[in-house]
Chain A
Amino acid sequence: MSFEPKILAILCNWCSYSGADLAGTSRKKYPANVRIMRVMCSGRVDPVFIMKALESGADGVLILGCHPGDCHYTSGNYKTIRRMGMLKKLTEQMGIEDDRIRLDWVAASEGDRFAEIIKDMTEKVKALGPFPRNGGDNG
Chain B
Amino acid sequence: MAKPKVALYWAASCGGCDIGLLEIGENLLKLIDAVDIVFWPVAIDVKYKDVEAMADQSIDVCLFNGAIRSSEQEHIAKLLRAKSKIMISFGACAHQGGVPGLANMYNREMIMERAYLETPSTENPDKVLPQTSCQVPEGELKLPELFDTVKTLAQTVKVEYIVPGCPPEAQTTWMALEALINGQMPPVGTVITDNAKAVCDDCPRKRDVKKVKKFHRTHEIISDPEICLLEQGLLCAGIATKGGCGARCPRAGMPCTGCYGPVEGVIDQGAHFMNAIASVIDSNDPDEIEKIIEDIRDPAGTFYRYSLSDSILRRARV
Contact = CB atoms under 8 A, between A and B. Distances in A.
Interface string A44-60: 00111001101100000
B316 A86 contact: no
A135 B275 CA distance: 23
B299 A48 contact: no
Contact of B296 (A81, A86, A139): A86
B316 A47 contact: no
Interface residues of A, number: 29
A46 B303 CA distance: 15
Among A83, A87, A96, A136, which residue has the most Cβ atoms of chain B within 10 A?
A136
Contacts of A96: 313, 317
A2 interface: no
B296 A95 contact: no
Interface residues of B, number: 38
B66 to A, nearest CB: 17
Interface of A is mostly: helix
Contact of B149 (A54, A81, A93, A135): A135
A86 B274 contact: yes
A93 B313 contact: no
B271 A48 contact: yes
Contact of B313 (A55, A75, A82, A83): A55
B274 A85 contact: no
B106 to A, nearest CB: 10
Nearest to A83: B278
Nearest to B149: A136
A27 interface: no
B312 interface: yes
Contacts of A86: 274, 277-278, 293, 296, 299
B169 interface: no
Given A81-B286, A82-B279, A82-B289, A47 B271 contact: yes
Nearest to B312: A51
B293 A89 contact: yes
Contacts of B252: none
Among A48, A85, A94, which residue has the most Cβ atoms of chain B within 10 A?
A94
Given A138-B148, A138-B149, A51 B313 contact: yes
B155 A48 contact: no
Contacts of A95: 316-318
B74 to A, nearest CB: 10
Nearest to B146: A139
Nearest to A48: B271
Contact of B317 (A51, A68, A81, A94): A94
A93 B309 contact: no
Contact of B314 (A68, A89, A136): A136
A90 B298 CA distance: 8
A28 interface: no
Contact of A48 (B104, B147, B151, B267): B267
B271 A51 contact: yes
Interface string A77-117: 01101110111011001111000000000000000000000
A90 B271 CA distance: 10
A135 B279 contact: no
B181 interface: no
Given A83-B274, A139-B145, 17 more contacts: A47-B275, A48-B267, A51-B268, A51-B271, A51-B311, A55-B312, A55-B313, A82-B278, A85-B289, A86-B296, A89-B293, A90-B274, A94-B317, A95-B317, A136-B151, A136-B314, A138-B148
26 contacts: A51-B268, A55-B313, A68-B284, A81-B284, A81-B286, A82-B278, A82-B279, A83-B278, A85-B278, A85-B289, A85-B290, A86-B277, A90-B270, A90-B300, A90-B303, A93-B299, A94-B313, A94-B315, A94-B317, A95-B318, A132-B317, A136-B155, A136-B315, A137-B149, A139-B145, A139-B148
- The 7 lowest CB-CB distance pairs between A and B, nearest first, are A95-B317, A51-B312, A135-B315, A78-B284, A90-B299, A136-B314, A82-B278
